[in-house]
Amino acid sequence: MTLSFLFPPKKLMSVFILITVLLMGFVCSLYGQSEFSLRVNDVWNLFVSYDESNINQQIILSLRLPRSLTAAVIGFNLGIAGLLMQGLTRNPLASPTLFAISSGAACLTALNSLTVASIGGLSNEAVAFVGALTGGGLVFLLGGGLSSNQNALRLILAGIAINGLLTSLTRAVLIIADDMAYSLLHWLSGSLSGIDWSSWSQLWPLSLLGLFIATSTCRGLNLNALGEQTAASLGVNVTWLRIRICLAVLILTSISVTVAGPIAFVGLIAPHLARAWCGSNHFMLLPAAGLSGAALVCWADLVSRNIIPPAETPVGIITALIGTPFFIYLILKGKR
């Protein structure tokens, strides 16, 4: 009875459809739009009859597979991060992009990339975490995001202000960078070009840690939706819940930004798609939001390679083109 309540058959079917959409995007991204004549048969043969002498299989294995895996995991991370933020603040507009978490991580990572301004010899992962904490912390401090009487407009305005500040600082870094400006600008647009197996090795351990922490918050988020006082009366340690959510969001967002730059609006769109498919139960919403984000980034990556081939459009531009009208729609919906 309990399992049927937590995982209703109709909702499981929705998750199955999301998995199918993700797999289609993942497979298409492995062979789509290449200077070489890659085909879906090459993808199939890579897994069932691997041939070291087959150049197409080598291209998929060494270039396309790590890129597609990274795109899926980054989308999964950002989808879950957005869901956690919306659940914590009970604000449908909350996301790592709008609350300056992504821009904070990007700003300090860009600064750390300059030899003359290296931040204490820290790794990019650590610097991105500090940047995400700084950006998100300032927004929540100015916007009263952790108070019991939250003001959604105040949070959004604080996010816009801090985003503007961090974006200006990042542009100053680009001016200082000079020779590195182009590569930094490409990365700051949210790019998956140049991803290899070392990027994947950098991404998956911290992503797994963030996912583990996020999973532990599902029950608390379900009860928190009823109000903090109600959740506390039902045995939820609200302070500990906030700490775990914030830690998961910072880990998932910062490692994603470190690897591929700030990919905008995935954390805003994916949770809303998941709710449309799976309702409000976070035991279902968590995987659904992750799968929605993963599918979105995989398909956006495929589109980005088909706009002006053989050149690549940064995937962050594609998600921004999708996310901006979606953001406007949410605002208009809120007014109604």
* pLDDT per residue as tens digits for the range 170-189: 888 787 766 667 778 888 88
Domain architecture of the chain: domains with CATH: 70-335 (1.10.3470.10)
What's this model's pTM, rounded to 2 decimal places?
0.92
Give the chain as a 3 state SS string: CHHHHHCCHHHHHHHHHHHHHHHHHHHHHHHCCCCCCCCHHHHHHHHHCCCCCCHHHHHHHHHHHHHHHHHHHHHHHHHHHHHHHHHHHCCCCCCCCCCCHHHHHHHHHHHHCCHHHCCCCCCHHHHHHHHHHHHHHHHHHHHCCCCCCCCHHHHHHHHHHHHHHHHHHHHHHHHHHHHHHHHHHHHHCCCCCCCCHHHHHHHHHHHHHHHHHHHCCHHHHHHHCCCHHHHHHCCCCHHHHHHHHHHHHHHHHHHHHHHHCCCCCHHHHHHHHHHHHHCCCHHHHHHHHHHHHHHHHHHHHHHHCCCCCCCCCCHHHHHHHHHHHHHHHHHHHHHC
For residues 154-158, average pLDDT: 85
| Higher-scoring residue by pLDDT: 194, 192 | 192
Question: In this predicted model, what pLDDT tens digit does every residue of 91-129 receive, in sequence order?
Answer: 888 899 989 999 999 999 888 877 544 566 678 899 999
Q: What is the pLDDT of residue 1?
A: 41
Confidence of residue 280 (pLDDT cuts 50, 70, 90): confident
